[in-house]
Structure 1
Amino acid sequence: MASMQHFETLEMQAKKLVGDEPVHLINLLYDLSSSDNTVRSNAESVYNCCKREYPYSLSIGLAYLLRGSTMPETRTMSALLLRQLLTRFRWPQIQSQIQDTLKSICIECLETETSPEVSKNLCNLVSDIAKNLLPRFEWPELQSFMLTSLSSGLSHVRELGLLLFIELIPHYAEIFSPHVDTIHAAFSRLR
C-alpha cells in the first residue's frame, strides 16, 4: 500500500513537470544538481518517473527551457538531460510533430546561444540528433545552418558551425563533400 502511494505521489510530481508551469521543471533541474543527497535522490526519482510516463512531453519541456531560460545553468542541464532522454529512444519512434519542434528549437538555439558551456552541450545534442537524420537528408535546416555559419559575422555562430563540422564530417563526409572548398576555407581562416 505504501509503495502504491509513493508511486502515485511520484506520478503527480512528474505530471507537474510537464504541465503549463515551467517553474516545476526548473526547480527539478536545480534539485538534480543539489549537494544534499536526499534532495537529489528525490529529484532523480521524480525525473525517472517522468521519463518513463511522459517522455515526449518532458523532451519538449526541456527543449523549451533550452531555448527560453535566461540562466546558462538551466540551459546546460536542459541540453544534457534532453540528449540523454533522446538517446533512450530511437528517433523514428518519436512523433513527427515532436521531431519537428525539437529540430526547430535546436536550430534556433544554435543561432542565438553565446554561453560556451551551453554551446558545447548543445552541439553534442544536435550531433546526436543529426546522426539519425543526415544519412537520410532529413534535416536540411541543419546543413544550411552549418554552411552559412562559416561566413557568419558572429564568432559564436561560426564556432558552433565548426564544432558541428568537426563532429559530423568524419561520419558523413559524402554529405558535405560538395561543399569541401567552403569548409576548407573556413578551417584555413582559423590559423
Structure 2
Amino acid sequence: MTWLVVGLGNPGRQYSSTRHNVGYLAADELVRQAGERWKTARGMHAQVVSTRVGESGLGLPGGEAVVIARPLTFMNESGQAVRALMDFHHLDADRLVVVHDELDLDPGQLRLKRGGGDNGHNGLRSIRAHLGSGDFYRVRIGIGRPPGHGAGADYVLGRIAKADRDQTALDVDRAADAVLTLLTQGLPAAQNQFNS
C-alpha cells in the first residue's frame, strides 16, 4: 500500500524562504535523501516523486511505496492537490502524512499526531474540506508566534530571519527524519523519538 507525504507551502520564489514553507522544505529534504528530482504531475496540481521507503531509508529496493508531493496551488487550496493525488493512488486518510508549519510550537519544537482540527491553518482547513476528514497524520514544525500582537498572516508569510536559518534547517531535517520513522515504525515510536 502506498503512502502519500505532502509538504505544505506556497509555490513561487517569493515564498521560498518564508515560515509558511517549512513543509515544502521538509519535502525537499525527503526528495534529496531519495536521490530524486521533482516532476510535475499533470492534472494533480502538484510536484511529485515516487520512491520506496524502508528501515534503511528512502530510494532503496524493498519497503513500501511512497509518493512525496508539494502542491502547486497556494496554501489555502492545498486540498485540491491532496484530493487529486489520493484519488489517483486510491488512498484513504490513514495513508496521508501532512508536514506543515505550526504557530503554537516554538522554533526547535516538533510534534506528530493523527487527526485534530485545523487550528486556523488554511492548508489544513482546505485538506479537511476536500477529504471530508481530518483523520490523517501531521508532522508539525514549530515556527512560533509573532512578537506582540502581530498579525499571523504577515508573520507566516515573512521571510525566515538570517539568525533563525540554522535552527530552521535543523527543524526541517528532524521533520524529514520524523516522517521516515512514522512510515517505517509507526506513530508511537515517532512521537517518542521526536515530540518535543
TM-score, normalised by the number of residues in structure 1? 0.26
Task: Return the structure number with greater relative CO, CA threshold 8 A, min gap 6.
Answer: 2
Q: Which has the larger strand fraction?
A: 2
Which protein shows a greater Rg?
A: 1
Q: Which has the larger helix fraction?
A: 1
